[in-house]
Chains A and B, each alone.
Chain A
Amino acid sequence: MTATVNVTVLADLLRRAAKAEILPRFRRLGQDEVRAKSEATDLVTEADEQAERMIKAEAERLWPGALFVGEESVAAEPDLLGRLADADLAIVVDPVDGTFNFAAGIPAFGVMASVISGGETVAGIIYDPMGDDWVMAEKGGGAWLRRPDGEARRLRAAEPVALDQMVGMASTGYLPQEKRAEILGNLAKVRFLTNYRCAAHEYRTLAGGHVHYLMYNKLMPWDHLAGTLISQEAGAHAARFDGSPYLPHHLDGGLLVAPDEASWEVLRREVVTI
């Protein structure tokens, strides 16, 4: 049994899948290729399904002992999610993160993967098909921006600033309606709000030090495991709303990422009034 996953090989696999299955379909979607899932805006495309199929097939060949968990695989087999908590080794994949953008022809989407070992995230990779580069991290090794030509640059999260100087992103779509209005109202305390509707790009932006905080309510592992590790390795503080660490088997409880613990506490108190 293979006990580890070579992160460089996995990163390259995401890139190959994007080139083979995702980019050729960007802005060439036919009506039949987009169908509604839980709501009209939650779009799954052929790109999503085909890219996951390719990544899964190769991952299972390269690392036969690893549990493969992808958004599409879980849609077909919901039990997979529960097996993440005690898998010795698992690979979690989001083939196209930012499907709404992808379907709308907006070049803000990404391919993400994380490696889970012994119940914690040990590696995270975010590939940007449009820019052809990765932000990635292995636990304890820092967060890095890498390019296919071998160029690598260490990433550092933003320095802490006062609340009214903070810029960040908050995903409020999955909050209960009355809390949504309250938290959006609270968010007027920050300098300004951005929202890319794509976790891959949001984590990338945070790890590069361009925004201060991220807030999410719904925690599907393929959306947040890679980005959370990358943020932490870039020096940011990430925790669930109750202050506990975010782990691979968590699906709720919210997630708040900030430059440091003190800023995290300020945001938790002033903005995330849940």
Chain B
Amino acid sequence: MQADHCIKDKFRMTISDTDILFLGECVREAARIEIMPRFRNLGAADVSEKTSAIDVVTQADLLAEHRITAALKERFPAALVVGEEAYDADKSVVPALADAELAFVIDPVDGTFNFAAGFPVFGTMLAVTVKGETVAGIIYDPVLGDTVTAIKGAGAFLTRWDGQSSRLKVAEPAALNQMVGGFSWGHMEDPDRSRISANMAKARMTFAFNCSAYEYWMAASGKMHFIGHAKLMPWDHLAGVLAHQEAGGHTAKFDGTPYRPGETTGGIISAPDKESWQLIRREIVGI
């Protein structure tokens, strides 16, 4: 009890409720100005739809990251800001998350494949880490205008475009053949990928949206029982994992250890509780 209280105070000193509101605004503004105007906006008719769409999503991604980074640097000049572009320029920013005093991790357009295909399932994510621990996460859906906000120790909430807010809760545990799940094995090698793909036949229903923003939102709100990923880039997972944990779920790497900022290997499973997690680990991952 006492320890919990201390942890909360430690975070509060670094990031306040007002800061959280600021972060939400920051993400929504970037989506409004840089992302949504480019969605399904194909430009010149002499370029093939696919080629043009890929250029457009790259632009949306880049410009939204610039905008969010600039806003964060202004308010938190000492903070480390990590996004895909920052990482491309300097790979050391990711391991630096393990002990950075205060860091922000941005994924401006998560689900770029969908965005480019004109499929309205993508998200904008932002995670806040303090000394190697995720303390807040935001997942914004630019199409629907919904924001998932997770604060360590305080829960995960969905706020709709009209201001209605509700607390998120993961699904009740169920037998595997009753579960709805998804597993991104696209970055795995064989034999793991074909085994995991085949094992997904044990679930009742599978989704493959290729968008971790949506997958974590669905898992945190009980619309999916489990999700699994092999590739752990921090911008894809930190905000979502916190949201899932704060909604009552259990997330851990394949070896059972917690997933922490700065880590990029090991694979990860999110499930309603520890027992379901072990079931997925055994029956789906099966390593």
Contact = CB atoms under 8 A, between A and B. Distances in A.
Contact of A195 (B193, B198, B207): B207
Contacts of A182: 198
B59 interface: no
Interface string A176-198: 01001110111111011111110
A210 B40 CA distance: 13
A153 B208 contact: no
B204 A41 contact: yes
A225 B205 CA distance: 24
A145 B199 CA distance: 37
Interface residues of B, number: 41
A244 B32 CA distance: 48
Contacts of A191: 186
Interface centre among A153, A189, A208, A209 (most CB of B within 10 A): A208
A221 B143 CA distance: 30
B119 A196 contact: yes
A142 interface: no
A187 B49 contact: no
A197 B119 contact: no
Contact of B119 (A156, A193, A201): A201
Contact of A104 (B45, B184, B193, B218): B218
Interface of A, secondary structure class, is: mixed
Contacts of B113: 167, 194, 210
Interface of B, secondary structure class, is: mixed
B148 to A, nearest CB: 12
Interface in A184-239: 184-189, 191-197, 201, 204-205, 208-211
Interface residues of A, number: 44
Contacts of B70: none
Contacts of B204: 41
A261 interface: no
B208 A194 contact: yes
A181 B45 contact: no
A153 B121 CA distance: 22
Contacts of B116: 210
A185 B198 contact: yes
A84 interface: no
Given A156-B48, A158-B50, A177-B201, A188 B185 contact: yes
A201 B120 CA distance: 10
Interface string B205-217: 1111110001000
Contact of A197 (B40, B186, B207): B207
Given A185-B194, A196-B209, A133 B40 contact: yes
A74 interface: no
B252 interface: no
A21 to B, nearest CB: 19
Given A107-B144, A192-B210, A194-B210, A208 B117 contact: yes
A193 B207 CA distance: 10
Interface in A99-139: 100, 104-108, 130-131, 133
A130 B121 CA distance: 11
Contact of A181 (B53, B199, B207, B218): B199
A130 B143 contact: yes
Interface string A157-188: 01000000001010011000100111011111
Contacts of A156: 48-49
Given A181-B201, A193-B186, A205 B206 contact: no
Interface string B175-199: 0000010001110001001111111
Nearest to B214: A106
A131 B186 contact: no
A90 interface: no
Nearest to B144: A107
Contact of A130 (B117, B120, B186, B198): B120
A100 B223 CA distance: 10
Given A192-B210, A195-B208, A107 B50 contact: no
Contacts of A187: 197
Interface string B115-131: 01111110000000000
28 contacts: A41-B204, A105-B144, A106-B121, A131-B40, A131-B118, A131-B120, A153-B49, A156-B48, A158-B50, A167-B113, A169-B208, A172-B206, A173-B205, A181-B198, A181-B201, A184-B198, A187-B197, A188-B185, A188-B198, A192-B185, A193-B186, A194-B210, A195-B206, A196-B209, A201-B119, A208-B49, A208-B118, A209-B50
Q: List 5 A-B pairs, minimum CB-CB distance, nearest first.
A: A192-B186, A185-B198, A188-B194, A210-B117, A181-B201
